[in-house]
A and B are shown apart, each in its own frame.
Chain A
Amino acid sequence: MPPRSMNRFPKAADYFKRARDLEAGAAAPDQRDVTSVAVLSSFTADFLRPYLIVEAAELGLSVRPWFGPFGAFEQQVLDDRAPLWAQLPEVVWIAMRIEDVDPQLVHDLPEIGPERAAERLGHLRQRVVQLAEAIRARSTANILVSNFACPRPLDLFDASDPDGLSHLCAAENRELARALTRITGAHVFDWNGVIGGWGTARATDAKLWYLARTPIAADLQPVVARNLARCLRALLHPAAKCIVVDLDNTLWGGVLGDDGAEGLQLGDLHPGRAFRDLQYALRELRRRGFLLAIASKNDAALVGDTLASHPEMVLRPGDFAAIVANWEPKPTNLRQIAATLNIGLDALVFIDDNPVERAHVRAELPMVHVVEWPTDPLKFASALADVAVLDRPRLLADDRARAARVAHDQKRLALEHGAASVDEFLSGLQMVATIGAGDEIELPRIHQLIHKTNQFNLTTRRHPIEEIAQLSRSPAAAVRWLRLRDRFGDLGLVCVGIVRPSDDGTWEIDTFLMSCRVMGRGVEQAFLHDLVRAAIEAGARRIRGVYRPTPKNHIVADFYRQYGFAEIGRTGEAVEYEISEAALPSWPPFIEREASST
């Protein structure tokens, strides 16, 4: 199937056919990366199967869905021998609807009043939260819990009543979101948003509801499936890091070189508003922690002037982490942008109105996420909203700071040029490191780093968040992190290390990784010193380190040797090293160590 927009879906029979082909492929013996997804619903959800398989495949995921008997939640979750657990689910979706489990609520409301109604809704919420907790206690699966869509039809004046059902549902959804933040790996599936976005009136086909107990109309099935698939992708894979945009007829209407800055379509007049709205949307993404960059066939000086001085420009030069305007091929420029920003090409999203440029990038750099961009600027907003690699399960304070940090990095670079020696430069940075171990509050960031760090990562083991939580609670292992700040700002949590006992006095470094933006500042040495010390204090006599090569981590191929480890053997591609206390690298003098407050 060709790339599609939100509004074009294949016919139902095409989904069946393609889903079968995909299932056959997933069953092949050499196929390992199949995600087991279990669905527990208060309605017949089985019809979603082909749609979910196909929509997930569109996002690069191979899934094996399993649907529990409808209405059986506790029976599956609380019984360790239930079929649910035989699936070894990696994701469990709890899809409970008000209409199915308290069907009389709408009809009873006028009699029982808002307080009783709120109480009954509260019971439903507590029920799904308890299910999520019970799943968490038994499994490391990611958990998605549908929020509540207000049952319809309500009378038109329900919303005028602050105690009307629509407001009670909204309040309950907020409580649900709050409760789920306290359960590791649990997230809301925005059922309410999906139904509302599609349109409540056409969401259910009465015939399918009464015949088959499915509240999802035929043409809504692929939409629910796509939203679910987007959630799965966001839970299982990292989001993109940088959005690279073209300029002419993308960021503004017209061609800068031909029309001049004054001739561009941008501002309050149609079609300039659509281009301006795209800039607003991109600025919002930047504020949410994504980097922006420009790759444009244009004159660099003219581009700089226009971005800085056009009165209607929303995005200014400071909003972009990299601006590349020249006449080189786009793949060359994308490579340069990735190198400048120290991120992988697979972390780039490429937006360009020109299908030839898109095809060129697709052919030469297949790992870049090339968006099928519409020519009509009125469709830009929905095209951007459809980019699944920009979905992220939650916003971390660290992400928001990342965009601001790039500006700091530029200042750091300026300082580097002014310093006489590297040591002087490093001292001048006034770095302060805080090291901590195993506290819950850092878990999301630790998990994020474990999943997105590709280059400075010795073993590239992508532990799920629950496993990290378990390790950090275990007395016989250490999950340590390092936060760094310097005179230019807070760099956040930049290192993660896991060390655990292996055999007979030897502890193994399971994970050692660092954010690339602090490379070359001695931070890796400081953190290695700390991690090895921690293991020795816990009783280790020798420390073993393993380098597991990937296509991206060659920069750390010699890391252990550089810091005094001796090679002891090879297993396949992996290289094993060992070190004893005597050879331990020292803590670098130019980094101040601060005690962790936790």
Chain B
Amino acid sequence: MSVEDRVRQVVADVLGLPVDRIGLETSHQDVDGWDSLNVINMMMAIESEFAVELDADDAGRLVSVAAIVDVVRERIG
């Protein structure tokens, strides 16, 4: 599975939405449940999915699927 697809799946699992409703462009403005609590949950889920470690500044960047994909790409190099 591509990085994009894996991120979409993680976001879907954390938010409890079907994965086909999550696109690259999906952002915190489109989804009610994408709140501060779930940003932290996404952080933990992304770390666990990709076996990477994010830092505190990354939390502020987890605002859309595309942005999360960028963060992950930076970490996995």
Q: Mark A187-210, 1 if CB is under 8 A from B, else 0.
A: 000000000000000000011101
Distance of A211 Cα from B55 Cα, bound (Å): 10
- Among residues of A, the one whose C-beta sits closest to the C-beta of B6 is A13
B44 an interface residue at 8 Å Cβ cutoff?
yes
Quick check: A11 and B41 within 8 Å, CB to CB? no
Quick check: B48 and A16 within 8 Å, CB to CB? no
Residues in chain B near residue A208, CB distance under 8 A: 40, 43-44
Quick check: A12 and B56 within 8 Å, CB to CB? no
B24 an interface residue at 8 Å Cβ cutoff?
no
What is the distance, in angstroms, from B59's C-beta to the closest C-beta of chain A?
Answer: 6
- How many chain A residues touch B (CB < 8 A): the figure is 19
A11-B48, A218-B48 known; A16+B56 contact, CB < 8 A = no
Quick check: B56 and A218 within 8 Å, CB to CB? no
- Among residues of B, the one whose C-beta sits closest to the C-beta of A11 is B48
Quick check: A20 and B16 within 8 Å, CB to CB? yes
Q: Is the interface of A mostly helix, strand, loop or mixed?
A: helix
- Which residue among A14, A20, A46, A212 has the maximum number of chain B CB atoms within 10 Å of its CB? A212
Quick check: B37 and A218 within 8 Å, CB to CB? no
Residues in chain A near residue B10, CB distance under 8 A: 13
- Which residue among A210, A211, A219 has the maximum number of chain B CB atoms within 10 Å of its CB? A211
What is the distance, in angstroms, from B32's C-beta to the closest C-beta of chain A?
Answer: 15
Q: Mark B49-75, 1 if CB is under 8 A from A, else 0.
A: 100001110010000000000000000
What is the distance, in angstroms, from B61's C-beta to the closest C-beta of chain A?
Answer: 13
Quick check: B41 and A47 within 8 Å, CB to CB? yes
- How many chain B residues touch A (CB < 8 A): the figure is 19
Residues in chain B near residue A221, CB distance under 8 A: 44
- Which residue among B43, B44, B56 has the maximum number of chain A CB atoms within 10 Å of its CB? B44
Quick check: A13 and B59 within 8 Å, CB to CB? no
A17 an interface residue at 8 Å Cβ cutoff?
yes
Distance of A212 Cα from B36 Cα, bound (Å): 9
Quick check: B49 and A11 within 8 Å, CB to CB? yes
Quick check: B40 and A16 within 8 Å, CB to CB? no
Distance of A60 Cα from B10 Cα, bound (Å): 26
Residues in chain A near residue B48, CB distance under 8 A: 11-13, 218-219
Contact among A16, A212, A218 with B16 in the assembled complex (CB-CB below 8 Å): A16
Residues in chain B near residue A46, CB distance under 8 A: 37
Quick check: A13 and B14 within 8 Å, CB to CB? yes
Distance of A534 Cα from B49 Cα, bound (Å): 65
User: 9 other contacts beyond A13-B48, A47-B41, with CB at 8 A cut-off?
Assistant: A12-B41, A12-B44, A12-B47, A207-B56, A208-B40, A208-B43, A218-B44, A218-B47, A221-B44
13 of the cross-chain contacts (CB-CB < 8 Å) are A11-B48, A12-B44, A13-B9, A13-B14, A14-B13, A16-B16, A47-B40, A47-B44, A207-B54, A208-B44, A211-B40, A211-B59, A218-B44
- B residues with a Cβ closer than 8 A to A are 9-10, 13-14, 16, 36-37, 40-41, 43-45, 47-49, 54-56, 59
- A residues with a Cβ closer than 8 A to B are 11-14, 16-17, 20, 46-47, 206-208, 210-212, 214, 218-219, 221
